[in-house]
Amino acid sequence: MKYSVVIATYNRAADLRATLASLANLQADGPWEVIVVDNNSTDDTRAAVEDAARTFPVELHYHFESHQGRSPALNRGIAAARGEIIVTTDDDVRVTPGWLNAAARALNALGGGYVGGPVLPIWRGRRPSWLSNRSGRHWAVIALLDYGPNPREFGARVPLGVNMAFRRSAFDSAGLFDPDIGRKAGTLLGQEVREWCIRARKAGVRGFYVPDMVVEHVIHADRLTKAYFRRWFYWRGVSRAILYQRAGLDMESPEESLVDPAKARQVLGVPPYMFGRALRSLAGWLFDTVRQRHIEAFEHQTWLCFFIGVVRQRLKDVRLRSVSHGKLQKNALHPAPSRNRVS
């Protein structure tokens, strides 16, 4: 088996049907399979897969993963995959017939362990005036990406999980996705791909952006609201604070620094410079709002939502650390009596 396409899905059977129809048109240069991992869906996801499997051109497998979260679901699919190249995508994409071949060519030509490509929009609603029509920080909210026409190695910029291809050996070197990080029902937690890419780089696994490995991503109207964007950035702050607590990764630029959270200077668990950035963002938001610069004003506003998520999670971490420290001190001062009886 040359390729395995892995899709994690949750309660999006209608989108999944259209995605599988698109995948059925792939023209791969070797044997391939599709693995759909149902992450506790309550709709007719299983029926959607079974219906498509009857006429699908290659093997189409259904798996169920009860551990809630995108990372556990992807890990389940990767473990089941038989392909030399494992490709991850979402349940709401459209692909070109040569998508898999483009991934294989790039892996061979660039010599990396993984590649990722552009993710372009299929709008299901009108693009609002505050959302830029080109790649930028707000594009990440709706899983869009375009790093330009030339290949480049991933570093501070990372791929999107909706359009990535891995050599199987990349997971042998760097491990699977962290099951405690990433999207879960009821949240907008993320950063599982970024965390994996940082871990992969440390393990010597290189990744490259490939401009001709393109997917189109359906952007539904309910995601084109300021409320959704604010919520997404809040959860991004929570996710980055979790990475900071667990691995000492900088909350704004995780790829560029490594600190010891226990030793770094903090105010309420947050590096002091972030409070200055918050004040500047607040001033910029007000200034750009008055000047009716809608895109710039909303960028300031969403950074403040990110900051609120950071502060809330860091306060939670500090409280938990304080409680744990207090229990350790109490146990040291009042050790539990020995259960060994001396006769």
What per-residue confidence (pLDDT) applies to 323?
Answer: 55
**What is the distance between the alpha carbons of residues 198 and 181, in angstroms, rounded to a whole number?**
14
pLDDT tens track for 50-80: 999 999 999 999 999 999 999 999 999 999 9
Q: 114-116 and 164-167 as β-strands: parallel, antiparallel, unpaired?
A: antiparallel
The pLDDT tens digits of the residues spanning 264-303 come to 788 888 888 899 999 999 999 999 999 989 888 999 999 9
**What CATH number has the domain spanning 3-224?**
3.90.550.10
Distance from C-alpha of 285 to C-alpha of 276, rounded to nearest angstrom: 14
Q: What is the pLDDT of residues 208-241, one digit of tens each?
A: 999 999 999 999 999 999 999 999 999 999 999 9
Task: Calculate the average pLDDT of the chain.
Answer: 90
The pLDDT of 76-104, averaged and rounded, is 98
pTM of this structure: 0.87
CATH 3.90.550.10-classified regions of the chain: 3-224
Among 81, 86, 76, 29, residue whose Cα is nearest residue 59: 81
Q: In the prediction, which pLDDT does 267 show?
A: 85
Q: Which percentage of the chain shows pLDDT scores above 70?
A: 91
Beta carbons of 52 and 17 less than 8 angstroms apart: yes
The more confident residue out of 262 and 165 is 165
What would the mean pLDDT of 190-205 be, rounded to a whole number? 93
Give the CA distances from residue 157 to residues 59, 130, 137, in Å, rounded to whole numbers and listed in that order.
34, 23, 11
Q: Give the pLDDT band (50/70/90) at residue 82.
A: very high
- Retrieve residue 299's tokens: 């960028």
Question: Partners of 209 in the beta sheet?
Answer: 116, 152
Point out the least confidently predicted range of 8-17, 110-119, 138-147, 318-327.
318-327
* pLDDT-based confidence at residue 130 (cuts at 50, 70, 90): confident
Is residue 30 pLDDT above 50, yes or no?
yes
Report DSSP state, residue 141: G
Burial zone of 248 (CB within 10 Å; 0-12 exposed, 13-18 middle, 19+ buried): middle
Taking 90 as the threshold, does the pLDDT of residue 179 lie above it? no
Please name the amino acid found at residue 125.
G
Confidence of residue 129 (pLDDT cuts 50, 70, 90): confident
Q: What is the pLDDT of residue 194?
A: 92
Query: For residues 189 and 29, which has the higher predicted lDDT (pLDDT)?
Result: 29
Bigger pLDDT: 341 vs 131: 131
For the chain, percent of residues with pLDDT exceeding 90: 73
Residue 103 confidence (pLDDT):
98
- Say if residue 54 is exposed, middle or buried (CB neighbours under 10 Å; 0-12, 13-18, 19+): exposed
> pLDDT value at position 341?
39
Sign, Cα dihedral of 221, 17, 36, 40: positive
Beta bridge partners of 87: 5, 165
Find where tokens 């930028």 sit. Answer: 136
pLDDT computed for residue 320 by the predictor: 75
* Euclidean distance between CA atoms 195 and 189, whole angstroms: 13
186 burial (CB, 10 Å; 0-12 / 13-18 / 19+) is exposed
pLDDT digits (tens, 9 = 90+) for 239-255: 999 888 888 888 888 87
335: Cβ–Cβ under 8 A, 6 or more apart, which residues? none
Tell me how far the alpha carbon of residue 203 is from its chain's centroid: 20
Query: Cβ(215)–Cβ(124) under 8 Å?
Result: no
Question: How many CB atoms neighbour CB 71 within 10 A?
Answer: 25
Q: pLDDT, tens digit, for every residue of 301-342? A: 999 999 999 999 999 988 876 655 455 444 545 554 544 433
CB distance 52 to 21 below 8 Å? yes
Query: Among positive and negative, which fits the CA dihedral 124, 126, 131, 132?
Result: positive
- Tell me how far CA of residue 193 lies from CA of 64, 71, 176, 183, in angstroms: 21, 9, 10, 11
